[in-house]
Structure 1
Amino acid sequence: MTRLLAGLALFLALVTTAGAAVPSWGAKQSSPADTPPSALKPGEWIWGGAPMAPGPMAVIVSLTEQKAYAYRNGILVGVTTVSTGKKGHETPTGVFTILQKDKDHKSNVYNAAPMPYQQRLTWDGVALHAGGLPGYPESHGCVHMPTEFAKLLFAATNMGMTVVVAEEGTAPVTVVHPSAVIPIDPRNGRDLTVAPLMNGSMYSWNPDASPTGPISMVLSVPDQRVIVLRNGIEIGRAKVEVTNPLVGTHAYIVSAGYMASATREGLRMPNWITIGIPGHGDEAGKVVDEALVDRVAVPREFMEKILPELKPGDVLLATDERILPSTTGPKLQVIDSNPPEHAP
């Protein structure tokens, strides 16, 4: 009996220890909704949205501000302090999608370190998850969030949701700060081959390169190009003409339904909502009108191919930065969805 009780006590002790092995980081409750994001201290956060409310989500991570902003239908519903990659392990900038979700993930690289509410951005180990928040970049490349915020965000997002990691976080915002959109192989970091437009061609279209998944588009005003990526793989690009362009970088998300009056030679335009990214908060939730759509002229043949592919939650970034590979500047990492055999 003594041995039985001793064994039971040891078992309970082990269970208790295992249950306490995962720490909790950051504030337990949201700060008041009217708290300015700039006033948040390390570990503090704001959440104003029901986790399972309808509407497409998107997340902007500002490396400069060490904050992350969550949007639903273009409206800011949450903001949190974060800790991103330290020197030598910098968090990559670029346009990403959620590739994997794991509530109880443990690191395959760093001694099985807990990574609660993990939402994977790359197959080489970068993810959103709960973690330490000292008030400055300290991670090995991941985006650390307060535990309770990470839990709410995990419940609110879907696979394929767009996450933009930006180097700048104040006006003028340059979400797509680098000046080349070149997909990379996440297993080795090498550039994937991207075929440019042939001489005289107005567009290219290869949906079989990535048949399904979320779409992200980047439109460069100075380059007069729009590039279409699905799961981080380029499936098309086209020449465009932009008149009376907006200054800076602006983000838009596809919502349900179609514009009542905006058509292009019989083609219906989906509804778009402006994402109020940092520096353009006054634009949050504004419905894009026909006048703005008419500023962008796109080849009809290309429109016939891309419009049926767009779904609520797909994102367009319009920027006054150059994006063609022939320009100089750091590269924007766009990650594809093919996992390596062993992901960290």
Structure 2
Amino acid sequence: MFPHRPTTLMLALALALPLLAHAAPPPSAARPAAAAAATAEVRGPTDLKPGEYLWHPEISPTGPIVLVVSLDEQRAYVYRNGIAIGLTTISSGKAGHETPTGVFTILQKDKDHKSNLYNSAPMPYMQRLTWDGIALHGGSLPGHPASHGCVRLPQAFAQKLFSETQRGDTVVVADAKSSPMTLAYPSVLAPVNARGQALPETEGAATQAWWNDSAAPAGQVGILVSLHDQRLYVLRDGVMIGESPLKADALPAFQGTTLFVMGQGYSDTPSPLDANQRLHQWTAYPLLGQDRAQATPDLLATPSLPMALPADFARQLYQVLVPGTTLLVTSLPAVRPSPAESGMQPVLESEPPGSTLKGN
């Protein structure tokens, strides 16, 4: 169930400390000092200390899960329905016992597993990736690759992940030598679908809107709008079913990140997405750079965002909206352009600070 109190949903998907410097600062009176400090000290994946993690399953409550492990960053990213919900430090295989790269599925789960190869060493919350000993499990994280090939996770994070995954879920292990940059250095938008297949190219190649809801006929719908990229992405059941460029001159003047959740009700106002349909009711949860007064639930109700979409695409989008649909609107990028750009770091931030940051 989605939390009702907005304070439990103060989650941010930021991508760059330099970009944050250009975001409009929220009025100081509208947010507690602690919240302002959280925004001022955004932490990227490389800022997390060994054993720390961020976990926000609320941001995408249902849908298929895929885990992307970046060996270069020594981080793992958890996506549900194509949107990031978690980030953790890891420890992968040391020299001579390197963790293999590739696309794996979770073959077996065992909360109290003991190693068959290494003196019955405890492997709590084990999720097996291969039958010859490679697995995800809780363990010590010294800050560098130190395992015999497994991917060690913080104990508390391993427990949380264990409770959400199922046998058959996809795990992608990537490095910069053998994988595309979008896999080696993940971001807000999942670089693969729930089956481990690469998503359609999203970085500048597609200039026209496209729609293919037959790719995932049913499942949870999630929408990601990046005003920075001037693109809208529609995902269902972890599969991208539509993507559209946004007309820059029609975009709303919006700085920050806000989560919108669609409710059960309608208003008597026609929807700007389809003038023949009624407007859905949305609830806004401010995340980054916004206070609750600025996080307008009517962002989809006003003409600005729908006018930025092609009319046919807007009508098709309306048809897939169901209660519980989530919409993330951000002024920040959805895809990290290049690891060489030092500031480009995907972040999950919470408010108040430290509320979901755990060490072990």
TM range (shorter): 0.3 to 0.5
* Structure number, greater radius of gyration: 1
State the TM-score, normalized to the length of structure 1: 0.47
